[in-house]
Structure 1
Amino acid sequence: MSEQSVLLLRKQLAELNKNPVEGFSAGLIADHDIFKWEVLLIGPQDTLFEGGFFKVHLTFPHDYPLRPPKMKFVTEIWHPNVAKNGDVCISILHEPGEDKFGYEKPEERWLPIHTVETIMISVISMLADPNSDSPANVDAAKEWREDPNGEFKRKVARCVRKSQEMAFE
């Protein structure tokens, strides 16, 4: 399966470089490893994350696209669906099949038809519209629910500022 995975990932990377998608750009962390990508995610307009430059790492399993990649924010971000260690928690990155907790329908979880583009579009939409029902960061979810324009907004603004400073290092 690994060879098919390599070909598919090369094709997706070439496609993204040829036809960039608004909101992010993708490349390899190291030229010799197609399974590890670095993505620069631009904070979506009209959200608290607007103006931010967030670095994200995608690590693909060798049986991609049968299983989803792991995604981690390298740049600090304050968001209900991103764990404090940077791990992204959204349905389409969850292993395929039934959710043993019953929160997600199988079609909301990973499907082999997903691409880096569909993953990133989901993450951009997650930034714009957090899901505080199944948070990866309970503190951020609580602030988002109770006072989105108070402490939550201040912490996000600090992350955005920090991301802008780091983007040009």
Structure 2
Amino acid sequence: MSGSQGALLLKKQLNDIKKHPVDGFSAGLFDDSNVFEWEILIMGPPETLYEGGFFKAKLVFPKEYPNQPPKMIFLSQIWHPNVYTSGEVCISILHPPGEDAYGYEQASERWLPIHSVESILISVISMLSHPNDESPANIEAAKEYREDKEAFRKKVARCVRRSQEE
């Protein structure tokens, strides 16, 4: 699929999300002339430490989309085992397609062209609800999540408060 076909697919997905909004997030373009960079707002999932938060993020799609995954980067500060300190989200479906060189993930868990913006964002919301501390991007957050839940909870609460003020 060429970049123009990827652009058409992204426009369709954006229209679908606008027509049929999904609870938990909103999505749009930063700039109407660039369909490859999306502005995302994720609402902290109910009954999680992130509840009440409004976390800004961006999805950056490669020209090879949908054959290659986008990158998702939180612009709001967020403390989570599966989010690098840079804000980049680290979950299986955003990893390049094919076999994992380390044998941790199966190819079926990694990026597949059938994933959509909606399925990515639902996976990120699920990640917020259920951190995977077995394969962390942020080792310090994962260690704290396992060993000092109260300190972890306090850091997340600060992130939630900051996100409400942005």
Interval of TM-score (by shorter of Structure 1 and Structure 2): over 0.9
Q: How does 1:95-106 map to 2 (within 5 A)?
A: 95-106=96-107
SS in 1 for 2:52: coil
Calculate the aligned-residue CA RMSD, in Å: 0.5
Aligned to 1:110: 111
Task: State the TM-score, normalized to the length of structure 2.
Answer: 0.99
For residue 17 of structure 1, what is the amino acid of its counterpart? K
**In the alignment, structure 1 residue 2 sits paired with structure 2 residue 3:** yes
For residue 126 of structure 1, what is the amino acid of its counterpart? M
Aligned equivalents of 2:105, 2:39: Cα separation in 1: 28
Number of residue pairs matched?
A: 165
For residue 20 of structure 2, what is the amino acid of its counterpart? N
Q: How does 1:1-150 map to 2 (within 5 A)?
A: 1-148=2-149, 150=150
1:111 Cα deviation after fit: 0.2
Aligned to 1:162: 162
1:147 Cα deviation after fit: 2.1
For residue 135 of structure 2, what is the amino acid of its counterpart? S
For residue 135 of structure 1, what is the amino acid of its counterpart? P
Structure 2: give runs of 5+ residues left out of the alignment: none
Aligned equivalents of 1:88, 1:6: Cα separation in 2: 23
Task: State the TM-score, normalized to the length of structure 1.
Answer: 0.97
1:56 Cα deviation after fit: 0.8
SS in 2 for 1:15: helix
Aligned equivalents of 2:130, 2:148: Cα separation in 1: 15
1:63 Cα deviation after fit: 1.1
Residues 46-79 of structure 1: CA deviation (Å, up to 9, x unaligned):
0000000000100001110000001100000000
